[in-house]
Amino acid sequence: METKIYNQKGQEAGTFTLPENIFGLKWNADLVHQVVTSITANTRAGTADTKRRGEVRGGGKKPWKQKGTGQARHGSIRSPIWKGGGVTHGPLSEKNYKKKLNKKMKTKALYTVLSEKLRDGKILFVDQFGMKDIKTKNGAAMVNAFSKIKGFEKLGYKGKKARAFVALPAINEVVSKSMRNLPQIELGLVKDINPVDILSHKYLIMLDPKETVALLAKRGSKKE
């Protein structure tokens, strides 16, 4: 399957053939859901902690006598039904939220999400950014140029949440520092990209298609 390649000015610069085994997979909602929940669970801090009735201070004395007061009987102010008492079934810091998945599942989920993103026309392949100086205005001009491409019009909108994830094949200080202050852009490396990164952004911008695809294919190899 062929896709268009654009330059930093948002102009067509040629075509590139994408491998079917990475960008031509059918949608598999069950697999993607399993991998996404695993990734989010593994990033969970797990520091929330509540006190059970045995950990709450005070309450050693019976609040009032069992009978004759006209009130309901109580044995301790540490009871969960009392304000300031223990918490029933609350979160505990000792709980482990980690979920293990094999590499094959994670890789296929990544390829599945990439295939769906490509079918939706939300992946933009760029040959080279070609930045020489670290300037935010250069990054902004490039994003503005990309927003004129059909299907990527909303890329220029500024909001609280980044709209595009820019996947770099290698660390590029000039590109990173020129674009990191743009609110609609989030940067990352191709070798670290995961389904959550792709699904949480409307657009995916991939630099240097040949090298990027080679890195993606390497993630699916048995030697990796």
Q: pLDDT tens per residue, the chain (224 residues)?
A: 889 999 888 898 899 999 999 999 999 999 999 999 999 999 888 889 999 999 999 888 899 999 999 999 999 999 999 999 999 999 988 888 888 889 999 999 999 999 999 999 999 999 877 778 888 998 889 899 999 999 898 887 777 778 899 999 998 888 889 888 898 899 999 999 999 999 999 999 999 999 999 999 998 775 55
- Is 43 exposed, middle or buried (CB count within 10 Å of its CB: 0-12, 13-18, 19+)? exposed
State the pLDDT at residue 175.
87
Clarify whether residues 122 and 212 are in a common domain. yes
pTM equals: 0.81
Distance CA 183, CA 151 (A): 20
Of the candidates 96, 126, 155, which is a domain's last residue?
96
Per the DSSP assignment, residues forming a β-bridge with 3 are 16
Distance CA 200, CA 61 (A): 53
Clarify whether residues 146 and 80 are in a common domain. no
Clarify whether residues 90 and 197 are in a common domain. no
Clarify whether residues 108 and 23 are in a common domain. yes
CATH number, domain at 132?
3.40.1370.10
User: In terms of residue numbers, what domain contains 22?
Assistant: 2-27+101-219
Instruction: Compute the mean pLDDT over every residue in the chain, rounded to the nearest whole number.
Output: 90
Clarify whether residues 106 and 91 are in a common domain. no
State the pLDDT at residue 157.
79
If one counts the domains in the chain, the total is 2
